[in-house]
Amino acid sequence: MDNASNLNLSVDFFLNKLEESKVHFERALDCKHTEFDDLYPYMIEHPQFFWYKRYVAWSELLTIVKLCEELNLPWTERFATHQAEYVSKRVMSSKVLDFWYETNDTREHVG
């Protein structure tokens, strides 16, 4: 492989990881099964479980976004404008949890 191929492979790799982390966060928001459930099955019975699950997914998303920023990769294109703003602010607030899917009064959830 030449350097151009390696660069394209790296860009594709990070953008795929970005998409995976976005889906992971959205599945956590929707209380759907994620890898976290498999890692900590005993936690499901605890009331704080879904908070931890969302926190872990949010942290993963922020980590991938930070790497994309450091590599000058166009991560914001993968998000709605308001979602990119939430991620840029880095704080998982109630606004993020309540309005992540909001686009002109519609809600779209990950399948």
Whether residue 104 lies inside any domain: the answer is: no
Whether residue 48 lies inside any domain: the answer is: yes
Whether residue 106 lies inside any domain: the answer is: no
Domain with 79 in it: 3-99
What is the predicted pLDDT for the residue at 7? 66
Give the pLDDT confidence of 27-39 residue by residue, as tens digits: 999 989 888 888 8
Indicate the number of domains in the chain: 1
What's 103's DSSP letter? B
Question: CA nearest 100: which of 17, 27, 15?
Answer: 27
Give the pLDDT confidence of 46-103 residue by residue, as tens digits: 878 888 999 999 999 999 999 999 989 999 999 999 999 999 999 999 999 999 998 6
Whether residue 33 lies inside any domain: the answer is: yes
Whether residue 109 lies inside any domain: the answer is: no
What value does the CA radius of gyration of the chain take, rounded to a whole number of Å? Answer: 15
Question: CA nearest 83: which of 18, 22, 34, 17?
Answer: 22
